[in-house]
Structure 1
Amino acid sequence: MTSLAANQPEDPPQPLTTPPALTELTEPQRQSAMDRLMILRPHLDDAVPIVRLAETAGIPERTLRRWLSAYRRDGLTGLARQPRADKGRRRIPDELVLLIEGLALRRPRPSIATVHRHSAEVAAQRGWPIPSYATVYDITHRLDPALSVLAHEGTARYRELFDLIHRRQAERPNQIWQADHTQLDLWVITPSGKPGRPWLTVIEDDYSRAVAGYAVNLSAPSALTTALAFRQAIWRKAEPDWHVCGIPEAFHVDHGSDFTSVHLEQVMADLRTRPFFSLPGQPRGRGKVERLFRTVNQQCLAHLPGYAPRGTPDRAGRAQLSLAELEEAIGRFVREVYNLTPHSETGAPPQQRWESGSFLPRLPGSLEQLDLLLLTVAKPRTIHPDGIHFQSLRYLDPLLAAYVGERVIIRYDPRDMAEVRVFHREQFLCQAICPELASRTISLKDITAARNARRRDLRSQLRERASVVDRLIDVHRPSPSDLPLPEAPAADPAPPVPARPRLKRYREE
């Protein structure tokens, strides 16, 4: 039996065109349109009747005619599957959805079963449809992740994960330096013989990622440790294979008290360096230094005795290195490995990238001038005949012989107590050494020579002043002829004869 549709004349084939609106379709819609076009292609290209095409494709004839009409009217866009008008809408009241979301956002974070139980009780009381467990699960897992983090983990965690930040990027070497501290995952032997975890302070050049300076200390970060690392970073290195030095144009640090001290701000002003501080409680934008700490931890400390990463059992008993040995190991890693290995972001070794700028770093006039700015350990002392007394040690230098009894200011490097720098009236005087610690010693001959020279100098000054006094007194002293004749003294009366004491003497009896 032949249907009525079979007797209807077939529509002539239409040319295939792609309207501009096709670019506005999503990928699933575009794919569905192409699938439907492939089904209609035998009819469009070869004039296969719709009835036969419906039998072959297993699709109702009315559906094929609807697709064909949409294609002729709107082109390929008309064949795209349209989304449902009620997509994303649930069959439960919106107020119940908000209740489920509010329960899921409570602190502490409740379980899905708890949220489902409470929401079902409220729905039964209000006469709403009882939500299924799957519905509650779907609603809670569709919550905005930022909203969940803010509700359950607080503002600080939200800032860390979702706040938009500005990342500074230097355009040349020594334009921006970054500094930060971290407590190392390694135990060392302290001078008292007990194990301790040291702190590492690192200063990094933002442009090249090269390490400009570092300091290792057992005490917590302070303005002193920052100044010592800054001093090493600025001055020329004693190691010939470590070239990074100079005064930076800007210094990017966090808002800790060790970086915001009045002294360090004055140092920045004297060095003509602009400081940039992170917002209090928001140490953002210093991920480059944090990445450097992770590199030191993984590639340097992991191979040293006493290494104890976080989450592992206490390994304080495995400490073998002293603080000086750890500092030497980190310095060797910085010079021989880190500064010479291509960086994952810049693609070049840090030291090579720093040197590629073809510039002359800006340096202070002398190391003494830099120390006067940076070394915050300044102690007033009095020069004694046997030298300067400090920390139960004596510091000597031949120049001190001329300043015995004078008040001076000493500045010292806590990492090297073998010598101190002596300043007298804000002027550098000398470097006094401790014979017990320094490799260079002051002999008794040197002390005797300095002592005799000082004594001769003082005697010369005495003779000079005595000659001036005698000369001035002789000028103003009158001559003998100008003096008045002395008068004859009056005769003094004879003194009375004291009476003989009436004392008994036993020998006269």
Structure 2
Amino acid sequence: MGGAQTAAEQVPWMTAAEIAAQALPGMPGTKRGVQERIDSEGWLAPDREGQTWRKRSGRGGGYEFTPYSLPLEARAALLLRREQEQSPEAKSAAFERSREDLWRRYEGLPDNLKARAQRAFRILDAIETLVLAGTRKNAAVCQVAQLERVGRRTIMGWYQAVRGFDRGDWLPALAPQYAGRQPTSDCPPEAWEMLKSDYLRVEQPRFSDCYRRLEREAEARGWSLPSEKTLKRRMDRLDPQLIVLAREGVDALKALYPVQKRDRRCFHALEAVNADGHKWDVFVKWEDGNIGRPVMTAFQDLYSGMILSWRVDRSENKEAVRLAFGDMVEEFGIPDHCWLDNGRNFASKWLTGGVENRFRFRIRDDEPVGIMTQMGVQVHWTTPYSGQSKPIERAFRDMAQNVAKHPAFAGAWTGNTPLAKPENYASTAVPIDVFLKTITTEIREHNARTGRRTAVCGGKLSFQQAFAASYAVSPIRKATSEQRRLWLLAAEAIKVDRRDGTIKLLENRYWADFLLDHRGQSVVVRFDPQNLQADLHVYRTCGTYLGAAPCHEAVGFADVDAARRHGQARRAFMRATREALAAEKSLSAQEMAAVYSREIEAENTEIETKVVRPFRPAVQGNTALAVEMDEAALIAREEEEQAQTAALRKVIQFSRTG
């Protein structure tokens, strides 16, 4: 049967001339002598074709024989020569390769062919068992052939197939070797390349269209083409991953590779988190009247899958990421690890500055240390839009299906793709306060829904229950009051009012008594833009923390209660200031006046001059005259001198020109 070919492949095929050239014992040394031996001993028996002899392919024809046609002494000598020519390592490697190829071919066979090989092996094994028990081999073959209803010649063919193999390799050696029907059609290589180039494109053309185009080209060039079905079968025999890559792209090829299943039970609650942004498929109307799709930035616990914090803004920005991170730290604590998308907003230097593997923006030696870096959070970067690396993508998919289609958003849902727009597309927009209230309720329900089929929840617990159970027994790092101010937004060069020391920010006023020392100066403030009624944290421009200033809200003109509270607060402030002033002043006004009056009396003494200038009268000739001239005489004299000077200048000028 077909297994004989496998056995024969282990030994060489030789022509009559090659056998004569070997000079084997018991064999003639000439081609003519070997040919006579072949004819006399009947080496070309029809039933042994393909086992011990075969027709020689190639020029000249003739026949080829295996060493099994030779006498025993010649066969042994040929085997010894081959073993001497090969090193032990080479023989061992060749034997192992042949066994591996044999078993690999056997594993690739269908079950019906494997069953035929198993039946043949069972029959040969029964014969060998009888032989070991003392039965002659011919008798054992006849006995088993009668019981199994198989011909004796068939059994001998099986023995020919396993010749040269160890008994442990008989099973694959007995398997039939069918090469299958080989394609007889002949396609010109250039035509086949044209067909592949046309069909293997991302536009995904139909094979029939590609074949029709090829037929027109073949008619012009005089090619003879196989049928369309033949070429389609040949195209389908290409590797499926090549077809998918060429026609569907890289993402489809990635989907062919099995995803990595990650077990998150190695963490505890809040040990590791991941974050990402999600653009809602809902039209929202903001306070200023603008309509758009809001973006939510959220942090999720990796151990339990619970959504820990989230912020909504008009776009995904670093401020929203900072505030969402701050909400998580404020309520639960500081995580040890955080998986982030390496985008512009998450890789901002104010968040992850100082991380060595932050492959976004230019890293400078003097760049500020990010909030996560200061808090000791180890940042891990992931691939954008990759649900395998960020489980929060799975939560966003649930929200896009459940929350975005909430009845409160009827008419505002946009559809998840441009081709999936509903009939009532853009018929309304949800007010932002209604939107925030709805998603707050739905995210709580998302966390509290029981029966979650995760390894941690076990199909029974909710995300919130799994988180709470681990959170209660896990070491959690809490943030200090100083750390809580790190994630607030900073506004620089804010002027403190010169009159009362108030700070005006986004139409809100903040005031504290320590601001009176900094009236007219520039300060830096940190605040939460979505909670402007909270305290405003004030810093000097050099970074020194000054304190927290509460918000002073505007009240109605006729609000008596608010006016009363404001008056009480102002009187308390003035009373506290008067008490502080009294504590600072240890002397009264009368006591100070008495002290300074004594000092004036002590200093009120007679004053004497110690330098006297003598009187020197004006001198005219040899007589000392006291010149007394009033002011009018001096003025008249001055005018006369000026008139004389002017007349003299005119005379000089006339003489020069004349």
Q: TM-score, normalised by structure 1?
A: 0.72
1:274 counterpart residue number: 378
Match of 2:391 among 275, 288, 291: 288
CA distance in 2, matches of 1:209, 1:274: 19
Q: How does 1:224-303 map to 2 (within 5 A)?
A: 224-236=319-331, 245-265=332-352, 266-278=370-382, 283=386, 285-303=388-406
CA distance in 2, matches of 1:229, 1:312: 31
339 and 227 in structure 1: CA distance in 2 versus 1, 3 angstrom threshold: farther
Amino acid at match of 1:260: A
Q: How does 1:13-24 map to 2 (within 5 A)?
A: none
CA distance in 1, matches of 2:535, 2:483: 15
CA-CA distance at 1:354 after TM superposition = 3.0
Offset from partner CA, 1:185-238 (integer Å, 9 cap, x none): 223332134543211111112222122211122x110110001110111122xx
1:161 counterpart residue number: 255
CA distance in 2, matches of 1:140, 1:355: 57
- Check whether the contact 2:304–2:467 (CA below 8 A) recurs between aligned residues: yes
2:450 counterpart residue number: 341
1:326 counterpart residue number: 435
Q: How does 1:320-469 map to 2 (within 5 A)?
A: 320=430, 322-348=431-457, 349-357=462-470, 358-366=473-481, 368-371=482-485, 373-384=486-497, 385-386=499-500, 387-425=502-540, 426-436=544-554, 443-450=566-573
67 and 87 in structure 1: CA distance in 2 versus 1, 3 angstrom threshold: farther
- Secondary structure at the aligned position of 1:317 is classed as coil
CA distance in 2, matches of 1:107, 1:36: 46
CA-CA distance at 1:394 after TM superposition = 2.2
1:305 counterpart residue number: 408
Amino acid at match of 2:567: L
232 and 363 in structure 1: CA distance in 2 versus 1, 3 angstrom threshold: same
CA distance in 2, matches of 1:360, 1:71: 71
- Check whether the contact 1:186–1:197 (CA below 8 A) recurs between aligned residues: yes
Q: Is residue 2:47 matched to residue 1:47?
A: no
Match of 1:135 among 230, 243, 266: 230
Match of 1:315 among 415, 419, 425: 425
Offset from partner CA, 1:385-433 (integer Å, 9 cap, x none): 3521122332234554454333322222121122342323221411321
CA distance in 2, matches of 1:383, 1:146: 67
Q: How does 1:116-155 map to 2 (within 5 A)?
A: 116-123=211-218, 129-155=224-250
80 and 87 in structure 1: CA distance in 2 versus 1, 3 angstrom threshold: farther
- Secondary structure at the aligned position of 2:405 is classed as helix
- Secondary structure at the aligned position of 2:503 is classed as strand
- Check whether the contact 1:382–1:408 (CA below 8 A) recurs between aligned residues: yes
Offset from partner CA, 1:64-108 (integer Å, 9 cap, x none): 777555556557656644332555786435554443222212453
30 and 140 in structure 1: CA distance in 2 versus 1, 3 angstrom threshold: closer
Q: TM-score, normalised by structure 2?
A: 0.57
Amino acid at match of 1:113: S
CA-CA distance at 1:380 after TM superposition = 3.0
- Check whether the contact 2:303–2:456 (CA below 8 A) recurs between aligned residues: no
Q: Is residue 2:308 matched to residue 1:203?
A: no
Identify unmatched segments of 5+ residues in structure 1.
1-19, 54-63, 237-244, 502-509
430 and 107 in structure 1: CA distance in 2 versus 1, 3 angstrom threshold: closer
CA distance in 1, matches of 2:249, 2:397: 26
CA distance in 2, matches of 1:415, 1:268: 21
Amino acid at match of 2:338: F
Q: Is residue 2:609 matched to residue 1:485?
A: yes
RMSD between aligned residues: 4.7
Match of 1:30 among 102, 108, 111: 111
CA distance in 2, matches of 1:486, 1:325: 93
Larger radius of gyration: 2
Match of 2:271 among 162, 175, 185: 175
CA-CA distance at 1:144 after TM superposition = 3.4
Identify unmatched segments of 5+ residues in structure 2.
1-99, 124-141, 163-169, 353-369, 618-626, 636-658
160-169 vs 282-291, which deviates more? 160-169
